[in-house]
Structure 1
Amino acid sequence: MQPLIDIHLHLDGSLPYSTVKKLIQVHGILTMTDTQLRSHLSVSNDCHDLNEYLEKFAFPLTLMQTQDDLELIVFDLLKELKQQGLVYAEIRFAPQLHTQKGLTQTEVVQAVIDGRDKFLNWQVKDNSNAPLHVNFLLCCMRMKGNHQENEETVEVAKQFLNKGAVGIDLAGAETPQFAIHKYKDLFDKASSYHIPYTIHAGEAMGPESMKEALALKTTRIGHGIRCSEDEELVKTIVKDKITLECCATSNLNTKVFDKLDDYPIKKLLSEDVKVTLNSDNMTVSNTNLPFEYQQLEEKTNLTKQDEEQLYLNAVRAAFCSEEEKARLRSLI
């Protein structure tokens, strides 16, 4: 089995079901049937758009407000990723969304890193496949009245840079109200701190949002799949070697595409776009990275050669050390 890399994976959209069940018991939350639980955590096939999709984050976030809970969730998730054959992951989350019970953003990030370190210690005893290494991206959020919290996230990213955190992101609802250019000061500050960043764009709002992201000198775009609607934009992305963090099932859920047969990942690869394939939200979309590859093999005739290129594109784009990139290249 080819090793796998996921550089676009949201922590709060990927809580393992078994972990959620544990936390429901611990916190004495009303017992639910599996069907009820899945309806709280995952979208159905008739999800209408990105806004409806984002509603599924409300319940898991209630379970992610203490250090112990965050540590457990990260540990359990990483065990799942290791089982799936992942060798590197960049997992993203917004520290400001985990402060509802009094944690500071710094404490949130430390708890997540502690969960990772606990997994790394456990992994030493598990030689079933190549080691999984993990870093984190801290998300600033497109929301009303949270500019101070976003500024704090950038400062916390500086504090943990290369100590578990390797970059920042801008996530949340893609709407004109929260247009990317309104967050320019955050990315200017990140640049001054030498913090790498990626920006969600080209999902709900199409090519124009991607142009705004590129104006902020990002090297990676979260999703970005709708560049296929603008040939000149594709040329720019190729020329500037911008990496797209594509997430097929998620884009299907949010009605960016009606069917996977139309997903343009092979076309973009043939045009020399630096495309990667990722899972986005494993639980919300009821997916994982092996499933993403399997679906695209079946629906778009994705080949082993294509998959190797997707892997190498992810290695190139990852915000990890050159030493780690050399390890990842040696695995294929």
Structure 2
Amino acid sequence: MNGKFVSKYIDLHAHLDGSITVEILKKLAEIQQLELPVATDAELEKLITVSENCQSLNEFLQCFELPGKYMQTEIGIREAVKLVLANMAAGGVVYAEIRFAPQLHTFRGLTQEEVIQAALAGLKEASIPANLILCCMRGDDNAAQNKETVELAKKYLVADGGVVAVDLAGAEALFPNEGFRELLQAAHEAGIPLTIHSGEAGGPENVESAIEMGALRVGHGVRIAGNDRIMQLVKEKGITLEMAPTSNRQTKTVVDMKAEYPLKQFLQYGLKVTINTDDMAVEGTTLADEFRYIEREFGITPEEEKRMLGNAVAAAFTSEARKEELRKVLAL
């Protein structure tokens, strides 16, 4: 540990549609010869970046609507993956896992399998090593689509350089994990690694159920703060938490960050914490910004940053050879 803050990063929790910046959106429109709904960059930014007075996760999720319209063709998806990873690389990210829901890219005739193949093509042209996580979506009328996503994840599953895991995303408070137990346990039994959004908009019991269903990682997990039983469970099982401070602040998952955000508490408790962007374009952030933020707000030390990067390498859904390479790149 040399006492210097880190300048190279790993992003384990980044949504493709939430990472489409104004520049990327303009390129996607141009490549596909599609019109944009507004004329200026400033107007576009208003449509895809959340306002400072965002009131809820549901309001936050509205920013995903426009980027999604430009990722409904093979070229749109392929280029989106490639451009997002290039943008991350420019910001110091050396490895990333991009997640997306194939079912949300089928509105202009693509099948889920064609969507995945297009994303894989983008991955092959990426400027940094990366992998794909396929999201099932919380809802009450898409069970068949979710089942297909899991089946395709099993078909395309690799150790590195492709599809490496399944996630469950969407409105957690409205659709708790329990409603997807059969789906996720089937994925787990098929040998597909799981990360599940839990303990963000829903309570700590969702984190407990995610672990029961076989999740190795949990997206966010902040609502377990103060719940000693579930914090102990997370610690004992070695579950990695994919934390995203700016996202949690903007969605009002945590209202008073200084007083209530449990990053330091989790680190002191010995939990495996990682720092991620979640939706860098929607939030107007980068992973470098996230690390500078936690240094300022919570007094995070260079040693703690290295520890969190080490957690990210250990928890990455990738091969041991890739992990060894990342440890060298990050000087861990």
Aligned 8 A contact 1:7 1:318 in 2: yes
Q: What SS is found at the alignment partner of 2:242? A: strand
CA contact (8 A) 1:260 1:300 kept: no
One of 88, 91, 94 as aligned partner of 2:101: 94
Query: What is the SS of the residue equivalent to 1:280?
Result: coil
Q: Is the 8 A contact 2:82 2:122 kept in 1?
A: yes
Deviation at 1:292, TM superposition (A): 0.2
Query: Do 2:198 and 2:218's aligned partners in 1 also have CA atoms closer than 8 Å?
Result: yes
Pairing 1:52–2:59 present: yes
Q: Which residue of 2 aligns with 1:196?
A: 193
| Alignment partner, residue 142 of structure 1 | 138
Distance 1:317 1:88 in 2: 12
1:231 aligned partner: 228
The match for 2:167 is 169
Partner residue, 1:126: none
1:19 Cα deviation after fit: 1.7
Q: Which of 285, 288, 292 lines up with 2:286 in the alignment?
A: 288
**2:194, 2:214 within 8 Å by CA — same for their partners in 1?**
no
Q: Distance in 1 between matches of 2:141 and 2:317?
A: 29
The Cα shift of 1:270 comes to 1.2
1:260 has 2:257 as partner: yes
SS in 2 for 1:283: helix
Please give the secondary structure, in 2, of the residue aligned with 1:229: coil
Tell me which amino acid in the other structure corresponds to 1:302. Answer: I
The answer on whether the counterparts of 1:24 and 1:31 sit within 8 Å (CA) in structure 2 is no
1:285 counterpart letter in structure 2: E
Partner of 2:37: 30
2: CA distance between counterparts of 1:328 and 1:11?
A: 22
**So what's the TM-score if we normalise by structure 2?**
0.93
Task: For 1:134, give the aligned amino acid.
Answer: A
Residue type matched to 1:67 in 2? E
Alignment match of 2:18 (pick from 3, 10, 13): 13
For the 8 Å contact 1:24–1:30, the answer to whether it is kept is: no
Q: Which runs of structure 2 are paired with 1:97-112 in the superposition (5 Å)?
A: 97-112=104-119
Aligned to 1:284, the other structure's residue is in SS state: helix
**TM-score normalised according to structure 1 size:** 0.93
- Partner of 1:245, secondary structure, is strand
Which residue type is aligned with residue 308 of structure 2?
A: L
Which residue does the alignment assign to 2:206?
209
Q: Distance in 1 between matches of 2:244 and 2:109?
A: 33
Corresponding position of 2:129: 133
Write out the 4+ residue segments of structure 1 that deviate beyond 3 Å after TM superposition: none
Q: 2:123 & 2:205 partners in 1: Cα distance? A: 37
- Determine if the alignment matches structure 1 residue 76 to structure 2 residue 51: no
Equivalents in 2 of 1:28, 1:213: separation in Å? Answer: 41
Partner of 2:217: 220
Are the structure 2 counterparts of residues 30 and 217 from structure 1 closer, same or farther at C-alpha, using a change threshold of 3 Å? closer
> Retained in 2: the 8 A contact 1:207–1:229?
no
Deviation at 1:59, TM superposition (A): 1.1
Following superposition, the deviation at residue 82 of structure 1 comes to: 0.9
Amino acid at match of 1:31: V
Whole-angstrom CA distance in 2 between matches of 1:325 and 1:22: 33
Match of 1:309 in 2: 307
RMSD (Å), alpha carbons: 1.3
The offset of 1:28, in angstroms, is 2.2
Q: Distance in 2 between matches of 1:197 and 1:39?
A: 34
| Structure 1 residue 298 displacement after superposition | 0.6
Q: Once the 2 structures are TM-superposed, how far is the Cα of residue 32 of structure 1 from its aligned partner?
A: 2.6
Are positions 1:250 and 2:251 aligned together?
Answer: no
The amino acid that maps onto 1:253 is: Q
Give the share of equivalent positions with the same residue, in percent: 41
1:99-131, Cα deviation, whole Å (9 max, x unpaired): 000101111011111111122xxx4xxxxxxxx
1:16 to 1:260, Cα distance in 2 relative to 1, 3 A: same
Asked if the contact 2:185–2:214 (Cα under 8 Å) also holds between the matched residues in 1, the reply is: no
